[in-house]
Structure 1
């Protein structure tokens, strides 16, 4: 992967300011690119973890309520706390999976578009 920076100076001040700043820029950019790759890997791993947790616990609310619908279970069930807790956990993992995948996709897109600039 590579990154290019192209500047056009609108004012004379830019000619004097950029040379010292370019040294800082050259020092920071490789770390930013590495950090982005690491973050994408973390997000991808977290999405896979959320998939596994959702898969493992996905059928549990159904087993907890038996033949009843979700609404019937809430209206007539003896213990609804564990059922609601399990539903909330499942919703959290599903949402986490979506957010991680979206974030990783956006970072990949940004990394690719910056590399083309």
Structure 2
């Protein structure tokens, strides 16, 4: 299941929840929509292959991901609960708020592999 949020027209955040009978994984992906100065020296460098979002410091990206997760969590919680009832009415799932997210950042947002859990 996927949930998307558009923050002030600048950032699209998507939460994807994958679950089995006892395990749940939540992936947060972000896509920045920025106004860019085409004369910026950083953009004119031919050696720089990083995208704009990749240049944002990890702690700032982690903060954005945490903020998005907190905003979208109630919707994800309800969707997951409703879906789990349809799959197994005898054992519905209900995510409990943890108060804090452990966000694992991937170096390559296009990578097919997930980071190793801490």
Query: Normalising by structure 1, what TM-score?
Result: 0.27
Of the two, which has the highest radius of gyration? 1
Task: Give the structure with the higher percent strand.
Answer: 2
Task: Give the structure with the higher percent helix.
Answer: 1
Q: Which has the higher contact order (CA 8 A, sep 6+)?
A: 1
Query: Normalising by structure 2, what TM-score?
Result: 0.27
